[in-house]
Amino acid sequence: MAAPMELSCWGGDWGLPSLHPESLTVMAYAKFSGAPLTVNTINKSWRTPKGDLPVLVSEDIVISQPAKILNFLRKQKYNADYDLSAKQGADTLAYIALLEEKLLPALLHTFWIEAENYCSVTKPWFASRIAFPLSLYLPGKMSREALNRILLTKGGPPLYSLTEVEAQIYRDAKECLNLLSKRLGTSQFFFGDTPTTLDAFVFGFLAPIYKVCFPRVHLQEHLKQLPNLCRFCDDILTCYFRLTVSGHSPAGQDTADANLQKLTQLVNKESNLIEKMDDNLRKSPQHPPHKLTTLKLAAGGEESSPMSRLSP
């Protein structure tokens, strides 16, 4: 609590504080639990990333994997899972295992192995944040490690070619997204109204898929068909990272206000229309047959249609 804690991780883009799922998980957890972390994003300085990111440094202690970092934060009394029951804690572990087994391979593939994505987005982005000459070597190494991991864990027989493995991991990932969506349902977070470790992990894995603009995006398209998961990511971004959906802080607030104004104007217009139609109905005589009233309504309709053409 007293010792300052510094987190080194990959930076962000496309409206995200970080592109790297594990870094994002740790940052989200820190926000949820209120831990005061100073975040250092890797830039082109010569303090090159050794080993895996994210890395937490507190006094002399250096911790490197997300699970261990989260454990450390909990021991420092920054615990986002305080209100969870034991069963919910068990569920958290299970769902995290599901994410790692089913979603992570596809995420790694989208970022590091899909040729178009890797060459046009991932490699330039990471290379621009690593000092030369490591920038020539490190992205390639990360890509090879990702491929290795996928082939070793998923690529045994009867899946003999990379395309079959790819098909299988994307099927698994889509199933995983569907399961997460069903589990989330309509609640704001996975365990009620306050975010927990599981929310941090899910956010860390989903947000890069959701936000990063890749040329090959079939996983993103699948995710966009699950509106509750998209809403979940957007909520966390707006509430905890103070970045709106468009990704800019103060300008975003203005856009939101402008949108609100437009919406109010529309609503006013509609209510005016309804009032006008009401008036017409009242003015029209009651006992003449149906047809007359319809005629009056039509007249009212004609009057209102130029207005409706104006409103978007």
Residues that bind another protein (CB under 8 A): 65, 86-87, 89-91, 93-95, 97-98, 100-102, 145, 148-149, 152-153, 156-158, 179-180, 182-183, 185
CB of 154 to another protein, least distance (A): 11
User: Which residues lie below 8 Å from residue 66, measured CB to CB, with a gap of 6+?
Assistant: 22, 25, 26, 54, 201, 204
Q: How far apart (Å, rounded) are the C-alpha atoms in residues 106 and 35?
A: 31
- Name which of 51 and 285 has its Cβ closer to another protein: 51
Residue closer to another protein by CB (options 17, 204) is 204
Closest to another protein by CB, 94 vs 298, is 94
Question: Closest approach of Cβ 93 to another protein, in Å?
Answer: 5
CA-nearest of 112, 90, 228, 120 to 169 is: 112
Q: How far is the CB of 71 from another protein (least distance, A)?
A: 11
Closer of 133 and 185 to another protein (Cβ): 185
* CB 257 to another protein: min, Å: 38
From the number of C-beta atoms within 10 Å of its C-beta (0-12, 13-18, 19+), residue 50 rates as exposed
Q: How far is the CB of 101 from another protein (least distance, A)?
A: 5
**Whether 106 contacts 172, CB under 8 Å:** yes
Residue 103 CB, shortest distance to another protein, in Å, is 10
Question: Which of 16/202 has CB closer to another protein?
Answer: 202
Query: What single-letter DSSP state applies at residue 37?
Result: E
Using alpha carbons, select from 15, 14, 12, 7 the residue that is nearest to residue 237. Answer: 15
**In angstroms, rounded to a whole number, what is the distance separating the alpha carbons of residues 118 and 278?**
60
Q: Break the chain down into helix, strand, coil percent, rounded to 5.
A: 65, 5, 30
Q: Which residues contact 193 (CB under 8 A, 6 or more apart)?
A: 187
CB nearer to another protein: give 39 or 99. 99
